Structure 1
């Protein structure tokens, strides 16, 4: 059975303009591929350059979040907040993503234990990988308890 398609806005617990991915183009049980087009008017775009390479880490993190969000919605549960814990081996072959670039952002789940997961991520342009990293993410089962453990009151 093919997985259900969801709009990217329903997969992440925040809103535009900070949803940086345009859409999910493919997913299965352990991977997700999203797309983003570099263009004027989107966050972090500089008219004279495009988007700096380091923004690729956020694209990768949002692809991980979209993967988890889709799995959560498939299970009939609401999308929850997650956190990027770490980035390993970030490598980008270019300094800037130029206006008009259509990029695919792929993430593959490689490890999961309880609230922590590890993903191998890539950003490709015209079928060539231009950025890659391994991301470790954390999604607390109980956000209120996590905040309370840090002395932060949680309002619903």
Structure 2
């Protein structure tokens, strides 16, 4: 595992309020670990804290950081990927407390040549208390921008 990581913006395409993961802590061929400090204000936050369902996006962005890290290791550009869904998302609590430092780990179970992948994901707090688990399905096509750009024939 390498410990010299660039800022998270180098690995994921998310920006601004949609960038929810703070930094990449570890990465290897089969997975990665990222860190998230639950914000005290901003997008998705409620009076009780950050809804635990946001953990799915923490997991997805950690997978994106893993994919971006791998691409850069190969001298390739970071690509856009898509979260297709999750299986068995389980959270130990309804909200993550603002200011809490979370560790998000993702482990590749499957990654096909067609860009489809499945990851086992976990979120822990600083005491290693498990807070959420899920298996998420992702898709990283060769040209992800083609999936989000309007077609020339699209009319409004």
TM-score by length of 2: 0.88
Equivalent in the alignment of 1:132: 133
Are 1:84 and 2:83 matched, yes or no? yes
Q: Is the 8 A contact 2:88 2:134 kept in 1?
A: yes
**Per-residue deviation at 1:43?**
2.4
Number of residue pairs matched by the alignment: 151
Structure 2, gaps ≥5 residues long: none
The separation in 2 between residues aligned to 1:147 and 1:124, in whole angstroms, is: 33
For residues 1-80 of structure 1, what are the structure 2 equivalents within 5 Å? 2=2, 4-46=4-46, 48-80=47-79
The separation in 2 between residues aligned to 1:65 and 1:152, in whole angstroms, is: 25
The separation in 2 between residues aligned to 1:88 and 1:8, in whole angstroms, is: 26
The separation in 2 between residues aligned to 1:135 and 1:80, in whole angstroms, is: 18
For residues 110-125 of structure 1, what are the structure 2 equivalents within 5 Å? 110-114=109-113, 115-125=115-125
Offset from partner CA, 1:59-108 (integer Å, 9 cap, x none): 00000111001001111111111011120010001001012211101101
Q: Is the 8 A contact 1:3 1:28 kept in 2?
A: no
The separation in 2 between residues aligned to 1:57 and 1:107, in whole angstroms, is: 11
- SS of 1:17's equivalent in the other structure is helix
Structure 1, gaps ≥5 residues long: none
**Superposed structure 1 runs of 4+ greater than 6 Å apart:** none
Q: Is the 8 A contact 1:20 1:43 kept in 2?
A: no
